Amino acid sequence: MVAKGYDTNTLSLPCYLCLPMKYPIHIIISLFCLYGLRGQSDIDLTLKRLNNNSVPYIGAERLLGNKEFLLLDAREKVEFEISHIANAIWVGDKIFDGDKISAIIPNKNRPIVVYCSIGIRSEVFGEKLLKKGYTEVYNLYGGIFQWKNMGFPVYDTIGQETDRVHAYNKQWGRMLNNATKVYKQKK
């Protein structure tokens, strides 16, 4: 007697292992699902390769609608002007002005979330905040790319919701899957 699910006329494989061969649509669906995760996988790999986890991550889901965090955008001004997360304060990515930061955030115990495109520049900025004595600093995991890939809103300089996100460059833009990518010349 042969166990149910095995075919004695073939390689004696369970039928569920033969499904992809019998139904090529499963392969197609699987490939589409994997393609949709490609940007996230690229973000994960890039963060593992380039960050040192010196600033704890916070996920986009925890940040959404949470008013307790002060949100700092550590991208270039042109990137911020194209779009940013609601209520974010632009602080830039080149020069860390400790006096300016102290004026913006006098309470060093205030919860702060820093973000950039995917989390590299924001980690550097977050490290500087920690060295300046701020105690509760987080790096938005995957940055504005992950935020937008998850379908969360971004806004332009007049406060209108937009689908546009500065994609930094063509290589990094591969990690942004759910937005209109903008490659504007940096000033």
Give CA 142 to chain center in angstroms. 2
Give the C-alpha separation, 44 to 49, whole Å. Answer: 9
pLDDT at 16 (0 to 100)? 43
Is pLDDT above 70 for 94?
yes
Angle of CA points 31, 36, 41, to nearest 5°: 105
Instruction: Give the pLDDT confidence of 102-118 residue by residue, as tens digits.
Output: 999 999 999 999 999 99
Q: Which two tokens stand for residue 42?
A: 């690229």
Helix then strand then coil, % of the chain, to nearest 5 = 40, 15, 45
Give the C-alpha separation, 159 to 153, whole Å. Answer: 11
DSSP letters for 19-33: HHHH-HHHHHHHHHH
pLDDT at 68 (0 to 100)? 94
Instruction: Give the pLDDT confidence of 42-74 residue by residue, as tens digits.
Output: 999 999 999 999 999 999 999 998 899 999 999
SS3 67: coil
Q: What is the DSSP letter of 131?
A: H
Look at 41 and 145; give whichever has higher pLDDT.
145
Q: Which two tokens stand for residue 19?
A: 């499904």
Terminal C-alpha separation, the chain:
76
What domains sit in the chain, N to C, each tagged with a CATH number? 44-182 (3.40.250.10)
**Contact of 139 with 114, CB cutoff 8 Å:** yes
Q: Of 7-16, 81-90, 148-157, 176-185, where does mean pLDDT reach its minimum?
A: 7-16
